[in-house]
Structure 1
Amino acid sequence: MNDTPGWASPGSAPSDGEQPDATGARPAEQPSDQSVGDQPQPPTQWSKEQPPSGQWSAPHTQIPGQAPPPPPGAGWGGSPAGPGHGAPGGGWGGPGRGPGGWGGAWGPPPAAKPGVIPLRPLGVGEILDGAVSTMRTHWRAVLGISLGVSVLTEIVTILFQKFVLDDQATTDTLRDPTSTASEVGRAMGEVMLSSGVVFLVTLLGTIIATALLTTVTSRAVLGRPVTVAEAWRDARPQLLRLSGLTLLLPLMALAILAVGTAPGILVAVSGSTAAGVALAVIGGLGALVVDIWILMRFSLASPALMLEKQSIRTSMSRSAKLIRGSWWRVVGIQVLAQIIASIVGSLVVIPFAVIAAVLSGDGFGNLMGSAGASPGWTFLIVTGIGSVIGRTLTFPISAGVTVLLYIDQRIRREALDLDLARAAGVQGYGADSTATPGS
């Protein structure tokens, strides 16, 4: 027998009635007149209570270096006709035995899964599947939030495109080659102002959808349903801070980009145009790399702010701490989620854009942005429907992946799975567990 922990070798304890003396030596063996018949008498170091016949073989001398023979009988994990000693699929000590056998595969018990994800460190597929499962399991709340925010955002966008951006005087000024610099500057300012308003409206809708979907996803991890009203009640106190955080990150990126391109612009203005342009391009590329690094470093600040009820500064610090050492993994998952969301959105938006171009009077003029083409109501409404459907499907993917990444990083670094299991009411989960080491 292998002398491994958890196994007790037969004969390791003294026989009944034979206790060692004070010096540790055993008394001399006394002769016995008991008739044993045809069966040999067991050695004195073996207990009188032996297993029944056919479940244990007589002890024998094992040659050093030779594997022990398989114990016969069905009571020890297999019969001679079944899987052999150590054979795959069963046998004494063989892997793959089910629970209850001596050869059962050992390892940690399966993680509890009260909701859309198992409470353990997650893989990429499990994070993506968790986001989709949240949308499928809690579709009323998820699609209600995404659809409501998308409809309101698209209505405002269409109205601005039709009544503000569709300014014929501004369009004529920009297309007229004889326009003065002041006229072109004024027209560009109007276009940028209108586009900025549309961007802010879209950003506000994204903030609201992110806040509400963060609450829904966090409840889905615990297997608890949530209504839109409950999600709004939970997320409303943090909306102002989330708006500040969402505006702060792109402003930081623009500031870094401006700092990177400023030397080249100054050189170009001073007279060395070629050198200035080259320096601005190099500085811009360097600033872009820094922007990507910073934005990914703080990409988990939004769920940290919503779920931990933290301030903007503290949530950014929490995100940086959670991502430290896992930057590439977080970036890869975030980029993959955005690619999937973009593909899903394109599959919905492009067919509606083609239909809108066909139904509108100008054909494909609006779709291709040809000169003189002014989008009509038909084009704007049909493309708006496509945008609403696309956002309704992509909002839950983006928000869900971000929240599940945050939960996954906390499970890896802070053993959040134990708190989640207790919050979900899992009985006895994590009683003897230790914190999962970070990665």
Structure 2
Amino acid sequence: MNDTPGWASPGSAPSDGQKPDASGPAEPADRPGPAQPADQPGHAPQGSGPNWSKEQPPPAQWSAPGNPAGPGQAPPPPPPGPGWGTQPPGGPAGYGGYAGPGGPAGYGGWGSGWGGPPPAAKPGVIPLRPLGVGEILDGAVSTMRTYWRTVLGISLTVAVLTEVIAVLFQGLVLGDSSTDALNDPSATLSELSRAMGDAMLNSTVVFVISLVGTVIATALLTTVTSRAVLGKSVTIGEAWRDARSQIVKLFGLICLLLLITAGIVTVGTLPGVLVTVAGSTGAGVALTVLGVIGAGIVALWLMIRFSLASPALMLEKQGIKKAMGRSAKLVRGTWWRIFGIQLLATIIANVVASIIVIPFTFLAAASSGDGITGWLNSGGPSLGWTFLIISGIGAVIGSTITFPITAGVTVLLYIDQRIRREALDLELARVAGVQGQGPTAPGATPGS
């Protein structure tokens, strides 16, 4: 048996005065040997030495620790106490067994009582090791709960600014537009075209404003979440100073991904549209449906493939092209796992937002001139100030809660993939000042 700490048996280290391969500890120097009985003339009787007690067990009961069982006696049970564990099946009697299954003598029997390697270090909201789904979701929520002043301050500020801009634009610019013609069977073609144009303009403006707010919130919350992993807090001002140099690139990245998605959908639907215009309505519709399905699958695959480009761009200070390449490299081989986690986080965020936004929407409709019945019959809201303000308050609350969840899950997925592929946990432990903990600590079981 070697003398490596953690492997040598207790009490049998080489410093005890015996060789490592000895079967038992050295016996006292003044103990009478087996060839010198106590009643032999010329020898002192047993127990008469200066270091021996007068009360000694009979000679037949003596045995070395390596051979504790005497003739005709059952072996004693292993000594109790922490560190010994249970005796492995098939191990010899004595000190808990040395030869357990799965290893040579002296090694296999010791692992059962130690409980595995020490836990991974956790300086912040996640342990520094590969993460499970629950740990990623819990890390995002823990970041919001632990650093709520900064997280909710960022989310609330961005949500209020974007919603105020959206409400003012809808109330002042789009207030005179009407989509009633879309629900009127007797509407003329020009009225339908105008109503569709107003609806598309309204949706586009709201989407662009929300996109800008999402980009800014994601940039700032990425910095907060990355610091929370190390157990370090960050103020809103510090997060802004760290992220502002990359915000323009982040906005360009998101716009590029949206253009790629729009291009894929256009390419998928264009053949069906052309066939429909040529006169084959049935074949054109079928081809369009197939094109939309195929384009949607390709777009979804690309969106997940590049879903980690945002944290790569913000944390590694990369350009747009390199950030997309980094995301593709980190996602390779784990597309389904990342897709499942992102889908779960999106569902949770939307459910939470809906629980908040839907009551405010009905309250806004009830407070408007037409009431809930008129709002439901018209098929859409009228852009009155009462409706816009009350529904805007609900949207602000919903965005304040959902921004940290979606941004936090994306950042933690990025960190988890780097831990799995690049051993980022070692660098994070060094930066956090927790070296010597976890599976890489000295004395930990190799490969655990």
Q: Which residue in the other structure is 2:154 paired with? A: 145
Q: Among 365, 372, 395, which residue is 1:364 paired with?
A: 372
C-alpha separation between the residues in 1 aligned to 2:409 and 2:97? 41
Letter in 2 for 1:192: M
Q: By how many angstroms is 1:421 displaced?
A: 0.7
C-alpha separation between the residues in 2 aligned to 1:348 and 1:93? 62
* Distance change >3 Å, CA 75–CA 155, structure 1 → 2: closer
1:162 maps onto 2:175 in alignment? no
Aligned to 2:378, the other structure's residue is in SS state: coil
Q: By how many angstroms is 1:105 displaced?
A: 2.2
Q: Which residue in the other structure is 2:333 paired with? A: 325
- TM-score when scaled to structure 2? 0.77
Q: By how many angstroms is 1:54 displaced?
A: 11
Q: By how many angstroms is 1:225 displaced?
A: 0.6
Percent same amino acid among aligned pairs?
A: 59
The question of whether the paired residues in 2 share the 8 Å contact of 1:115 and 1:223 is answered with yes
Q: By how many angstroms is 1:371 displaced?
A: 6.3
Q: Among 260, 267, 273, which residue is 1:252 paired with?
A: 260
Letter in 1 for 2:135: E
Q: Among 309, 314, 317, which residue is 1:306 paired with?
A: 314
C-alpha separation between the residues in 2 aligned to 1:287 and 1:59? 77
Q: Which residue in the other structure is 2:92 paired with? A: none
Q: By how many angstroms is 1:265 displaced?
A: 1.3
Q: Which residue in the other structure is 1:50 paired with? A: none
Q: Which residue in the other structure is 2:292 paired with? A: 284
Q: Which residue in the other structure is 1:119 paired with? A: 128
* Distance change >3 Å, CA 253–CA 84, structure 1 → 2: closer
Aligned to 1:338, the other structure's residue is in SS state: helix
| Aligned counterparts, 1:395-414, within 5 A | 395-414=403-422
Q: Which residue in the other structure is 2:58 paired with? A: none
* Distance change >3 Å, CA 114–CA 202, structure 1 → 2: same
Q: Which residue in the other structure is 1:386 paired with? A: 394
Aligned to 1:159, the other structure's residue is in SS state: helix
Q: Among 241, 257, 272, which residue is 1:264 paired with?
A: 272
Q: Give deviations 1:172-212, integer Å, cap 9, x for gaps.
A: 76677776655654554454334323221110000000000
* Distance change >3 Å, CA 431–CA 56, structure 1 → 2: closer
C-alpha separation between the residues in 2 aligned to 1:130 and 1:427? 21
C-alpha separation between the residues in 2 aligned to 1:358 and 1:305? 45
Q: Give deviations 1:296-344, integer Å, cap 9, x for gaps.
A: 0000000000000001111111111111111111000000000100111
The question of whether the paired residues in 2 share the 8 Å contact of 1:366 and 1:373 is answered with no
Q: Which residue in the other structure is 1:240 paired with? A: 248
C-alpha separation between the residues in 2 aligned to 1:433 and 1:119? 18
* Distance change >3 Å, CA 320–CA 93, structure 1 → 2: farther
Q: Give deviations 1:335-365, integer Å, cap 9, x for gaps.
A: 0000100111111111212222222232114
Letter in 1 for 2:140: A
* Distance change >3 Å, CA 162–CA 104, structure 1 → 2: same
Q: Which residue in the other structure is 2:113 paired with? A: 104
The question of whether the paired residues in 2 share the 8 Å contact of 1:55 and 1:71 is answered with no
Aligned to 1:165, the other structure's residue is in SS state: coil
1:216 maps onto 2:221 in alignment? no
Aligned to 2:117, the other structure's residue is in SS state: coil
Q: By how many angstroms is 1:241 displaced?
A: 0.6
C-alpha separation between the residues in 1 aligned to 2:66 and 2:77? 7
Letter in 2 for 1:262: L
The question of whether the paired residues in 2 share the 8 Å contact of 1:411 and 1:417 is answered with yes
Aligned to 1:389, the other structure's residue is in SS state: helix
* Distance change >3 Å, CA 380–CA 132, structure 1 → 2: same
C-alpha separation between the residues in 2 aligned to 1:314 and 1:300? 12
Q: By how many angstroms is 1:380 displaced?
A: 1.5
The question of whether the paired residues in 2 share the 8 Å contact of 1:297 and 1:320 is answered with yes
Letter in 1 for 2:432: A
Higher relative contact order (CA 8 A, sep 6+): 2
Q: Which residue in the other structure is 2:384 paired with? A: 376
Structure 1, unaligned runs of 5 or more: 18-28, 40-52, 63-67, 96-100
Q: Give deviations 1:143-186, integer Å, cap 9, x for gaps.
A: 00000010111111111222222224x54766777766556545
1:134 maps onto 2:124 in alignment? no
- TM-score when scaled to structure 1? 0.78
The question of whether the paired residues in 2 share the 8 Å contact of 1:260 and 1:287 is answered with yes
Q: Which residue in the other structure is 1:416 paired with? A: 424
Number of matched residues?
392
Q: Which stretch shows the higher mean deviation, 172-181 or 350-359?
A: 172-181
